A and B are shown apart, each in its own frame.
Chain A
């Protein structure tokens, strides 16, 4: 019997879908787990695009729930990664097309057959959020090092705890080590301290995420991507491995190198 994990954040645009795509792909690719990713963002589906599977959609989540097709028919198998499947959201319906009970039933069916069921939650804390968490037993919260995103994460943690989730885990996305170093961005400890929650991973800001999203290929499979490396670490932690946080040290700038050369500045 597999486990159902919801990826949520409250605030939009912090990287829920990218995180779902990379963790899902990571678990299938590195750990050979049987994984299905559900896009719960009905009306604004995107996980299919991030995964590069948008041309293969026939049926969707709402079709399954309304009995238009069988569950098996709506699952898209990713041909690049063995054991990876996507259940896309409907694009023309809205969030009320599905109820929390229906989502729970669906997740219960899927976890019979899959090791992991990952639910990509829509932004917000209304119906779509309630649907997305209904069938999940574990939650991953994605935030960025900004006041607004951390505030929303705090709100969502409260709602999850009220809904009976025991230990939600945090992913801090899009951290910029250079800005942290000069004191212009909250760092990992600041955020963990404020939210009082377990840390699952830290993903550095990385241009390669944009490139991989352009191509529809998750960065976790890209050996040269720093964010990809961070997602590989997250994947291994989810499987119970003890992986230290990757070093986010910044390369000294040219000016700093010159200063160091002349001994003007002690090396830190």
Chain B
């Protein structure tokens, strides 16, 4: 067993970790998005969606991240993960 491996996280160089972290931090900094703003979006989404489906509110996750646009360009993206417990009756037409 390679003893030195113990100290490295996988095989990703620390430089790449730094770069990735920095990119994400800057997406937030540049967009100037506050946690309150994300909370606001989150509660509005819950409001709207709850009319149609039962969702697991604790599992709801809204975050700002980056998405690949094409080969080497990325754009900021708002990603929402909404676990659904059950579809409500009104939604089934």
Is A154's CB under 8 angstroms from B19's CB?
A: no
Mostly, the A contact residues are helix
Q: Tell me the chain B residues, 23-75 only, with Cβ under 8 Å from chain A.
A: 23, 25-26, 29-30
Cβ-defined partner of B14 (8 Å) among A151, A154, A184: A184
Smallest distance from the beta carbon of A162 to chain B beta carbons, Å?
A: 12
A184 to B16, CA, bound (A): 8
Which residues of chain A have C-beta atoms less than 8 A from B22's C-beta?
147, 150-151, 186, 194
Is B26's CB under 8 angstroms from A187's CB?
A: no
Write the A148-183 contact mask toward B (1 if CB under 8 angstroms, else 0). Answer: 001100110010000000000000000000001011
Decide yes or no whether A190 CB sits under 8 A from chain B. yes
Sort chain B's interface into a size bin: 10 to 19
Is A183's CB under 8 angstroms from B25's CB?
A: no
Smallest distance from the beta carbon of B8 to chain A beta carbons, Å?
A: 10
Which residues of chain B have C-beta atoms less than 8 A from A186's C-beta?
15, 18-19, 22
Mostly, the B contact residues are helix
Decide yes or no whether A185 CB sits under 8 A from chain B. yes
Is A190's CB under 8 angstroms from B15's CB?
A: yes
Is B15's CB under 8 angstroms from A183's CB?
A: yes
**Please, which residue of chain A has its CB at the minimum distance from the CB of B22?**
A147
Say whether, besides A183-B13, A184-B13, A194-B23, A147 and B18 are in contact (CB < 8 Å).
yes
Is B15's CB under 8 angstroms from A155's CB?
A: no
Decide yes or no whether B21 CB sits under 8 A from chain A. yes
Is A187's CB under 8 angstroms from B15's CB?
A: yes
Is B16's CB under 8 angstroms from A154's CB?
A: no
Which residues of chain A have C-beta atoms less than 8 A from B30's C-beta?
154, 158
Say whether, besides A151-B25, A158-B30, A183 and B14 are in contact (CB < 8 Å).
yes
Is B26's CB under 8 angstroms from A151's CB?
A: yes
Smallest distance from the beta carbon of A174 to chain B beta carbons, Å?
A: 15
Is B25's CB under 8 angstroms from A147's CB?
A: yes
Which residues of chain A have C-beta atoms less than 8 A from B29's C-beta?
151, 154-155
Is A190's CB under 8 angstroms from B14's CB?
A: no
Which residues of chain B have C-beta atoms less than 8 A from A154's C-beta?
26, 29-30
Known: A150-B22, A183-B13, A183-B15. 4 other contacts (CB 8 A): A151-B22, A151-B26, A186-B15, A194-B19
Give 15 A-B contacts (CB < 8 Å), ordered by A residue: A146-B18, A147-B18, A147-B22, A151-B26, A155-B29, A158-B30, A182-B13, A183-B15, A183-B16, A184-B14, A186-B19, A190-B15, A190-B19, A194-B19, A194-B26
Residues of A at under 8 Å CB distance from B? 146-147, 150-151, 154-155, 158, 180, 182-187, 190, 194
